[in-house]
Each structure stands twice: as structure tokens, then as C-alpha cells.
Amino acid sequence: MNIFTRLIAKALQMPEQGIENTLSLLDQGCTIPFIARYRKERTGGLNDIQIGQISSKYEQFKELQKRKETIIKTITEIGKMTDDLRQRIDDCWESTTLEDLYLPYKPKRRSKAQVAREYGLEPLATIIMLQKEQKPFEVAKKFISKDVTSIEEAIKGAQDIIAEQISEDERSRIQLRNTFRREALMFSKVIKSKSEFEGAAKYSDYFDFVEPLKHCSSHRLLAMRRGEKEGFLRLSIDVEYEDECIGRLQRLFVRGTTPCGKLVNEAIEDSYKRLLKPSIENEFSALSKQIADEEAIKVFTENLRQLLLAAPLGQKRVMGIDPGFRTGCKVVCLDEQGNLLHHEAIFPHPPVNHVMQAKIHTEEMINKFGIEAIAIGNGTASRETLLFVKELDLNDKIQVFTVSEDGASIYSASKTAREEFPDEDVTVRGAVSIARRLMDPLAELVKIDPKNIGVGQYQHDVDQTKLKNALDRTVESCVNLVGVNVNTASQHLLTYISGLGPTLAKNIIEYRKEHGAFLSRPQLKKVPRLGPAAYEQCAGFLRIPNAKNPLDNSAVHPESYKIVERMAHDQHCSVAELIGNKQVIDQINIKRYVSEEVGLPTLTDIIKELEKPGLDPREQLEEFEFDPNVSTVDDLVEGMILPGIITNITNFGAFVDIGVHQDGLIHISQLADKFVRDPNEIVKLHQHVKVRVVDIDSKRNRIALSLRDL
């Protein structure tokens, strides 16, 4: 076992053998979805989230190893490296401790202590720090020079050196760090001159706020930091009893009540206030931000996963409507594959009010293009458009859905949209996106930067690199969980398939245009630059309906086709006859097919896939209706029970669309009649719920809702 395996196993509490094999597969270039789905024997059945955690820790420890090498090189070059220090650095795998070890040797700007050293006062600082000299002021006379013109200057310079030494001492930092960990308080104060500015009111909860840092939740911390960034708040982290902190340091370094001890006492107080406390405060500020970021990113990725795996309508002819008042409603008609057949604008709402004309045109489009479902964007004029559609003379089989518009405008102006619809304007592209989201949310939403999809909390305030990595990994996980039809998938969707990426995705699209639909998985090997390694990684996640080999439309990997063929042969039937035939499949004894390469986990997956090949793991889509008597905030009354849709989940609760153009919040305390640690335990994104209106704050545009007692 290598050192990284042991460190990761300890950090994540996972078996070492599974981690060792996972690291080996990652180093070979295998993707997380491939390892999770097709290498369960090697990993011990770790899922994609666990493998992702292992990958992240692996990168973290590799970065720490590079940092250690840099530190060792720097200390060695200045001639300060000792065997003991080298051993301590080699054994250290905690970044804070590592930086503490490096701090005394770190190249510094020209500090007060550095100036004092240049003036030759370091020997005086050493004498005072030893605390044996009874007459330090007499000794200080010897250090007077053209740069140091008095005893007081000499003593002060020596104390500056002592202050820096104490601030860099590992014991000092550990002691104060432990105090901050136990006792640190987060303070937030309003900047008086900005308190009446527009936008300040939303931070009013933090105008005079104090809370133990260890209890400060991620959403409160990120809200305060945003208020600070916008210039409304001033934040600080401090401990309540400063004298106690200084006293602990003095007990650590001062020996007795000697004249030198008194000077060291003064140096310690200066060290604490000028150097040590600001340094630890910055450290805890950065650490608390990092923890808050990780929590917010976790919330965002969970929401994104639920959004991407939302129930699809499937391949049906859909009408998409992007609602509007003055500019009208843009209407598009799509075929079963999502291709644009027709578009036009209708004006059923004020100020134009061409209601009858809009009715006639819409009904004509529905009949002409065989529309089976209607998707209406949830933005401006959404409720009015929904009522207009409900009053049309529709076939009972036509379903009507309200669809989130979040990010549609971003998509419509994007390069991807321009390439798809070079001859259409942004309004048409936006309406197409709304319709396609109904048909297949996953296939459409992957075209939009996840930050613009409208789920998560404070996503623009967190570490953007970490956020992007986490979201990309989530999108990749969802796409590969569902699998894609290689003959209809967009280039954007194919990009997220295991082992492909932008270049191979583009090559697949171009090959498809030139040679027509793929007829088998092995044909993928003819795609330029799609070699054996990429084929191994991607083949199991690409589906080919109506292929000659029915396994090409399943999640069974080509490397396992021979196993299925043996199973079919042993059951005296063809592979095609075996697939979906539960009676025959139940007779298979999978233990007969165990080998050194293939174990029970893979065989169990193969049997599940044979029973329901290509099964979509997403749920069925359900229609939903808002309360017809409520369309604006003014229609709300406390105590009302209303239907709603969960639109966003955060650490502090869930947001619900109740059809009034302003989402309400179910605070975490109102989610259930019991203690709730995580809102995801109670609700899911896009879940249909009944909520009670608890409070309406018109001034701050907030609606409080509850699920309790319902």
C-alpha cells in the first residue's frame, strides 16, 4: 500500500484495498462513471460519489506533496535544514501544520523585526528571551550605533524580533488556534453610511450580529460575506476574552518576574495584537469560507443531480410557449426528436389582447403538427398563458406542463444555440429550449452552465474552480447513469459521456452526418481518434436502438457480451430471446459464470440489465395545476393551503413555486413535525406539495410557508 492509500483510507474511512485499486484505475485514465459501473470487483462496489471523494483526496495529497518538496528545497537552500525538521516535514500531511513548520524560514517582506536584525539587535533579543540577564538596559547600551541611537530604541528593536519569533512559534499558533476553534465569535456590523442605501435591507438581519463561529451556518456566513463584498457590512472574527489569550502565551514563554521577563511580557502582548491574532483571524476567515463553500457546493450538486434526473416526457410532439405580455408569446412546434417544425408569435394578453386570433392560430398549430403536449415557461405571463391554454378546445390526451425558464435566455444567446438555429432569433431558441426541457431535461440542461439553472445557494460567491469541478462531475454522473442514444444525442450531451470529451463528441457527430446512423457499437471504433481506450470507457454508456445485436441498446458492456452469449446458449435460446424473458432469466445460476476477471457484482448487474434493458432510472412525469384563485402575492392570505412545486433546496429550507411569480420559503423548522437535519430528507426538487401560507412580508418580498400539520 502506498502512503496516499493509507492517508485516504484514514480520511474517508474506506477499505484500503478498494482505494488502492481505485487509484490504480484512475492513474490508468479510467473515468469515475466507468470505474463505478464496470469495475465493482476491483473497488469493492464503491459508488461514483465515493470514487469522486477518493479522486479529490488523491489530488489534494498530491498537491500537498508538491508543497512539501518546495518547502524542503527553500529551507535547504538557505542552510537551515536539520534532520529533525526534514523528518517532521516528511511526516506531515496537514497543510496548516506544514505551513507552521515553514513559517520561521519563509521569505518575508521587510518587517520591523527584519529591520532590527539588520541593525544588529538579534543577539540582544536572544539575551532578553533567555531571561537570565538582570540588567538588560545596561546590556542594551552596547547595541547603540548610528542606526540605533538610544537604549529605548535598542530594547524596542529586540522586542520586535521577540514578537515575530513568538508569532511564528508553532506552540503559540497551536494554542491560539485551539482557542479560536473553541471560542471564536463572528461579528457583523452595518456600515452606518450605507444602511439606508437600496439593497441594504436584505442584510438587515446582520446589521448587529454576533454568533459563535463554530455554530455559524454556511448560508449565514456566505450571506454576510456577500453583504461585506457589496459594502453594507463589516465582518470580523475575534475571541471574547483577549487578556486570557495573552495570559496563556505569557505563561508559555515567560519565566518568573525578572526584568527580562517583563520585557518579554510586553513583546508577547505586541505579538498577539499586531501579528498573531490577525494571522489566526485570517486563517479562520479563510477556513470558515472554505467550509461554507464546500457545504454550498454540496447543496448545489445535490439539487443539480435531482434537476438533471427530473422525469422526462419522452419522445412526443411538443408545443413550447415562451409567455409574454407586450412582446407576445413565442410559440414553437417540435417533432418527436425535438426538431423545430414551426414557430410564430401570438398576442392573447394585454396590451394587444388578440385573444380570438391567438386561440384560432394555436388550435390550428396543435392540429396541424399533431401536438401531444404543451410546455409553458414559468416566467412573466406564465399563469395568464396557462389559463389561455386551458380554455382552448384541446384533445383530452394533450397534457399541459409549466416548465422552468431558468437559464433559457443564457442558452438562447449561446454559441451552442446559434449553431443549432443559425437562422432563428433568441426568442425562438428560448421557446425551443422550454419545449425540449419537457421532453428530456437532461439532454437540454447540459447545454447551459449549471450556475445559471436556478438551483443552489450563493453559487456565485463560492470558489468557482471547486464549484465547476463538482458540477461537471455531477453532470457527467447523471448523463452516464441514464445513458444516451448515440444516433440522436447532441454534441454537448456526448461530451459528458465517459471517455469522450469535446473532440471525440464532435467527431462522432461528423461521422454520423457523413455515414448515417450507427448500426452497432463496434462501428464507433471507426470514428477518427476514438481508439481502444476511449471505446472501452464510452461503449457501455452509448445506446443504439434497433441494432443487430440487441445488447448494443443496453448497459451491458461489450467486454461482457460473451458471458451473455454463454448464458443464452446454456438456456438453449438466442440473446434476443433471453432479453426481457424473466422466466428464462430466473433459471440462470450466475455463480457458474464467475471467473478471475468477472465476479458476482458484474454478473448481478448483467442480470438486472437483461430483465429491463436500457431502463431509464428517472421517474414518470406528472401533470400539475396551481390554485386557479391565486395568481399574485395580493391574493395570498395567511392560513391558505395551496399546491406548489419545490424549485430549490438549501441548507435552511426549500423554495416553492405557488404560482404568484415569487417563490415562497419553507424554513427547515417548518418542513416536518420533527427535527430535520437535511431538507433533502423531506422534500425533493420538482416534488408536488401542499403548503400552508404562514406569513407574507410585502416589504422584503418574502412568503413564508409550512408543511407542518399537513
Q: Which helix (H) or strand (E) holds 702?
A: strand 702-706
Q: Does pLDDT of 450 surpass 90? A: no
Beta strands at 688-697 and 702-706: parallel, antiparallel or unpaired: antiparallel
The pLDDT value recorded for residue 613 is 84
Beta bridge partners of 377: 403
What are 171's three cell numbers? 506552540
Exposure of 115 by Cβ count < 10 A (0-12 exposed, 13-18 middle, 19+ buried)? middle
> What phi and psi values does residue 213 have, to the nearest 5 degrees?
-60, -40
pLDDT digits (tens, 9 = 90+) for 204-244: 999 999 999 999 999 899 999 999 999 999 999 999 889 99
Q: If we measure between CA atoms, which residue out of 408, 396, 405, 337 comes closest to residue 366? A: 396
What are 568's three cell numbers? 443464452
**375 in helix, strand or coil?**
strand
Whole-angstrom distance, CA of residue 416 vs CA of residue 448: 9
Cβ-proximal residues to 209 (8 Å cutoff; 6+ apart), any chain: 186, 187, 188, 189, 224
Whole-angstrom distance, CA of residue 609 vs CA of residue 603: 10
Give the number of residues written for the chain. 710
pTM confidence score:
0.87
- Give the CA-trace dihedral at 291, 294, 300, 303, to 10 degrees: -100
Mean of the pLDDT values across residues 685-690? 93
pLDDT digits (tens, 9 = 90+) for 516-544: 999 999 999 999 999 999 999 999 999 99
Map grid coordinates 463589516 to a residue: 234
The conformation of residue 517, written as its DSSP 8-state character, comes to: S
Whole-angstrom distance, CA of residue 409 vs CA of residue 28: 40
The conformation of residue 323, written as its DSSP 8-state character, comes to: -
Mean pLDDT taken over the chain: 93
The pLDDT value recorded for residue 455 is 75
Give the pLDDT band of residue 616 (cuts 50, 70, 90). Answer: confident
pLDDT digits (tens, 9 = 90+) for 622-679: 888 899 899 889 999 999 999 999 999 998 999 999 998 889 999 999 999 999 999 9
The pLDDT value recorded for residue 1 is 66
- What's the maximum distance between 2 C-alpha atoms anywhere in the chain? 105
Contact in structure between 663 and 647 (CB atoms under 8 Å):
yes
Contact in structure between 519 and 548 (CB atoms under 8 Å):
yes
Identity at 33, one-letter amino acid code? P
pLDDT digits (tens, 9 = 90+) for 61-114: 999 999 999 999 999 999 999 999 999 999 999 999 999 999 999 988 889 999
Whole-angstrom distance, CA of residue 482 vs CA of residue 470: 19
pLDDT digits (tens, 9 = 90+) for 305-343: 999 999 999 999 999 999 999 999 999 999 999 999 999
Beta bridge partners of 344: 331
Q: If we measure between CA atoms, which residue out of 271, 265, 264, 263 comes closest to residue 137? A: 263
Whole-angstrom distance, CA of residue 696 vs CA of residue 702: 6
The shares of helix, strand and coil residues in the chain, as percent rounded to the nearest 5, are 55, 10, 35
Distances in whole angstroms, Cα of residue 308 to Cα of each of 15, 369, 617, 638: 31, 28, 12, 34
Whole-angstrom distance, CA of residue 400 vs CA of residue 625: 9
Distances in whole angstroms, Cα of residue 82 to Cα of each of 66, 79, 89, 151: 20, 9, 11, 36
Cβ-proximal residues to 185 (8 Å cutoff; 6+ apart), any chain: 210, 211, 212, 213, 237, 238, 239, 240
Give the pLDDT band of residue 618 (cuts 50, 70, 90). Answer: confident
Q: If we measure between CA atoms, which residue out of 110, 105, 94, 96 comes closest to residue 71? A: 105
Contact in structure between 37 and 555 (CB atoms under 8 Å):
yes
Which alpha helices (H) appear in 184-276, and where do they start and end?
218-229, 242-253, 259-270
Provide the 10 A C-beta neighbour count for residue 229.
Answer: 10
Mean of the pLDDT values across residues 342-362? 96
What percentage of the chain reaches a pLDDT higher than 70?
100
What are 396's three cell numbers? 383530452
The conformation of residue 272, written as its DSSP 8-state character, comes to: I
> What phi and psi values does residue 442 have, to the nearest 5 degrees?
-60, -50
Q: 666-694: string of b/e by CB count within 10 Å (b at 16+)?
A: bebebbbeeebeebbebbbbbeebebbbb
Using the Cα atoms of residue 157, residue 159, residue 165 and residue 167 in order, give the sign of their dihedral: negative
